[in-house]
């Protein structure tokens, strides 16, 4: 749908009532701040209170106490991986138990990697660790090369860091074992070959929790024939939201204040929400989510002023609630989960009407974002998790179609291609199937020290979202309806959405919260 400049305005008395959707923030787990050390300083003693009625405390002492309470730099990241494994282990076992039995001797379930035995078909759950042969001690870890007959350690794609000599390990709290993916006919304990999708080491990155099934040889290498991703519970089926047919508008990368970005598409978006463009769908927008990069990075101060004005127009003149996610270029913490933008940066947008008892029209949220909107669980990010995963994971090459169906002669067949980078939509789907918002963290993507564990793991207490989005997508708009067929999921689905850069395309995404149908809006000025 293309929305051009309006030729006329709709009378205010003729405007229909806006749709309403219930709203409950669910991002509290992304705002965990050193809960286990909240009342102690690095020496173990209790800290004096820094808030409340103690207004005589100096700002410097408040900063020091805040640093002691929130940033425990003395901790390492091992507890993050331990918590991630504990959160996803049960789900991996559920997926492993659904696999058909293999071999005449059956499969032995092993709780810890150290308990694996040679020549015994076993199933175990652990965290994948990728070690490169280019490292200082990498040579002693490389048992086999994933490319038969090619001993050269080379980069598999210029846009990724994957190498042909990378070695994968499966690790838990007891130890690790080197793994190699094999076809069924190459498995020493499998008597009957069956159809199987060949896997490669470059399809995984450090930090992914999976269940595997295979056999350990006399050299300590585990020949893996089956891999099970964590089983996700299907999203809960919900009824229609209250107040008509509510829709959620997703937009990202406004880049307000950037001298190279026109403000006309943003003004048209506001006019659309105000009902000035005579589009009946505008009244169904129950909430707007800005998925990162609201202010431009060229002049942050000017960008924040323009974003504040834009947010004021959306919330006050159009009457649409607004959620604002931060991103890597915004003035907030760089490590994930990112903290919300401070209220002083957007004073007009975040102005609270005291005494009315109503929910605020605008909120600054952490990144990642999670909320129940219209009884649908919505999860999303600014896109950093997707872009980082694309550097570490590749997609296997498409099979050579030449000469296979008789339509193309063998001499004219295309040469075999190497692995290709994941698309943004494929990377977004991988994060959901692996049960983690940013699986490449903390080995690649920077995350903050969270002593309580890994808040981005979709573990026992986390529910599968009905809508999962990422913003600032370089490849433009893309969407997919991912079905959940396991464990009687029936027709339950998750809508995946890649939100394009509004500053470059003028495009926003409209999602129906009842049906999960998606519509692309494009705002441009007539010339």
What was the pLDDT predicted at 196?
Answer: 44
DSSP letter assigned to residue 51: S
Backbone angles phi, psi at 396, to 5 degrees: -60, 150
* Residue 138, C-beta contacts closer than 8 angstroms, at least 6 positions apart: 131, 132, 165, 167
What was the pLDDT predicted at 483?
Answer: 83
Q: Which candidate, 459, 471, 448, places its Cα nearest to that of 289? A: 471
Q: Look at the domain 247-395+419-522 and name its fold.
A: Purple Acid Phosphatase; chain A, domain 2 (3.60.21)
E strands in 252-395: 285-291, 322-325, 362-364, 369-373, 376-381, 394-395
Q: Looking at 426-435, 437-446, 482-491, 504-513, which range is the least confident one?
A: 482-491
What residues does 481 pair with on adjacent strands?
495
Backbone angles phi, psi at 222, to 5 degrees: -95, 120
What pTM value is reported for the model?
0.82
**What percentage of the chain reaches a pLDDT higher than 70?**
71
Mean pLDDT for the stretch of residues 232-244: 64
What residues does 118 pair with on adjacent strands?
216
What was the pLDDT predicted at 371?
Answer: 93
Reported as a single tens digit per residue, the pLDDT across 115-134 is 999 999 999 999 999 987 65
Residue with tokens 């880049």: 255
What residues does 338 pair with on adjacent strands?
367
* Residue 113, C-beta contacts closer than 8 angstroms, at least 6 positions apart: 124, 126, 170, 171, 172, 174, 175, 176, 177
Residue with tokens 């660790």: 129
Pairing between β-strand 122-131 and β-strand 108-109 as defined by DSSP bridges: parallel
Q: When comparing pLDDT for 74 and 501, which is higher?
A: 501
Reported as a single tens digit per residue, the pLDDT across 49-67 is 333 443 433 333 333 333 3
Can you tell me the distance from the alpha carbon of 335 to that of 338, in angstroms, rounded to the nearest whole number? 6
Query: Quick one: which H or E segment has residue 388?
Result: helix 384-392
Mean pLDDT for the stretch of residues 193-218: 81
Provide the phi-psi class of 148: left if phi over 0, else alpha when psi is between -120 and 50, else beta.
Answer: beta
In DSSP notation, 147-188 reads: STT-----BS-TTS--BTT-EEEEE-SS-EEEEEE--GGG-T
| Structural tokens at position 246 | 């509510």
Can you tell me the distance from the alpha carbon of 96 to that of 210, in angstroms, rounded to the nearest whole number? 9
One of 3.40.640.10, 2.40.50.430, 3.30.9.10, 1.10.20.10 is the CATH number of 77-134+157-183+199-228, namely 2.40.50.430
- What does pLDDT average to over the chain? 78
Asked if 245 and 501 touch (Cβ cutoff 8 Å), the reply is no
- Band the pLDDT of 357: cuts 50, 70, 90: low
In the predicted structure, residue 151 carries a pLDDT above the cut 70:
no
What was the pLDDT predicted at 522?
Answer: 94
Can you give the residue ranges of every domain in the chain? 77-134+157-183+199-228, 247-395+419-522
Reported as a single tens digit per residue, the pLDDT across 263-316 is 999 999 999 999 888 788 888 999 999 999 989 888 889 999 999 999 999 999
**What percentage of the chain reaches a pLDDT higher than 90?**
44
Is the bond leading into 2 cis (omega within 30 degrees of zero)? no
| Structural tokens at position 247 | 């829709």
């Amino acid at each position: 749908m293309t929305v051009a400049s309006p030729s006329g305005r709709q009378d205010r008395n003729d405007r229909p009532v806006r749709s309403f959707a219930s709203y409950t923030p669910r991002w509290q787990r992304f705002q965990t701040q050193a809960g286990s050390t909240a009342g102690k300083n690095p020496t173990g003693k209790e800290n004096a209170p820094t808030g409340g009625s103690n207004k005589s405390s100096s700002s410097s002492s408040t900063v020091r106490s805040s640093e002691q309470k929130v940033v425990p730099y003395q901790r390492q990241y091992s507890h993050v991986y331990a918590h991630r494994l504990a959160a996803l282990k049960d789900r991996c076992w559920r997926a492993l138990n659904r696999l058909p039995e293999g071999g005449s001797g059956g499969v032995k379930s092993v709780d810890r990697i150290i308990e694996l035995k040679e020549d015994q078909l076993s199933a175990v759950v652990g965290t994948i660790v990728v070690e490169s042969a280019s490292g200082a001690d990498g040579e002693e870890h490389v048992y086999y090369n994933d490319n038969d007959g090619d001993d050269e350690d080379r980069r598999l794609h210029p846009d990724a860091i994957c190498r042909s000599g990378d070695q994968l390990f499966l690790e838990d709290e007891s130890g690790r074992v080197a793994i190699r993916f094999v076809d069924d006919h190459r498995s020493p304990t499998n008597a009957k070959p069956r159809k199987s999708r060949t896997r490669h080491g470059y399809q995984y990155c450090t930090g992914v929790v999976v269940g595997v099934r295979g056999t350990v040889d006399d050299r300590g290498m585990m020949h893996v024939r089956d891999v099970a991703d964590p089983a996700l519970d299907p999203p809960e089926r919900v009824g229609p939201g209250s107040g008509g047919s509510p829709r959620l508008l997703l937009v990202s990368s406004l880049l307000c204040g950037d001298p190279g970005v026109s403000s006309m598409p943003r003004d048209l978006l506001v006019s659309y929400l105000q009902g000035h463009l005579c589009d009946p769908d505008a009244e169904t927008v129950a909430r707007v989510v800005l998925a990162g990069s609201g202010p431009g990075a060229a002049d942050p101060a000017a960008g924040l002023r323009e974003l504040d004005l834009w947010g004021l127009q959306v919330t006050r003149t159009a009457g649409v609630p607004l959620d604002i996610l931060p991103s890597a270029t915004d003035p907030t913490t760089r490590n994930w989960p990112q903290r919300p933008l401070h209220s002083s940066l957007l004073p007009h947008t975040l102005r609270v009407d005291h005494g009315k008892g109503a929910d605020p029209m605008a909120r600054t949220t952490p990144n990642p974002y999670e909320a129940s909107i219209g009884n649908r669980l919505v999860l999303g990010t600014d896109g950093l998790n997707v872009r980082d995963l694309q550097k570490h994971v590749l997609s296997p090459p498409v099979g050579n179609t030449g000469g296979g169906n008789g339509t193309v002669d063998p001499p004219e067949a295309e040469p075999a291609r190497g692995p290709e980078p994941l698309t943004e939509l494929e990377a977004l789907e991988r994060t959901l199937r692996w049960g983690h918002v940013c699986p490449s963290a903390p080995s690649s993507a920077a995350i903050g020290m969270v002593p309580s564990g890994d808040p981005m793991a979709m573990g026992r207490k986390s529910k599968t979202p009905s809508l999962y989005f990422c913003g600032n997508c370089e490849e433009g708009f893309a969407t997919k309806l991912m079905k959940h067929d396991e464990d009687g999921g029936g027709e339950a689905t998750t809508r995946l959405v890649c939100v394009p850069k509004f500053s470059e395309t003028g495009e926003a995404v409209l999602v129906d919260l009842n049906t999960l149908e998606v519509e692309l809006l494009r705002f441009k000025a007539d010339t």
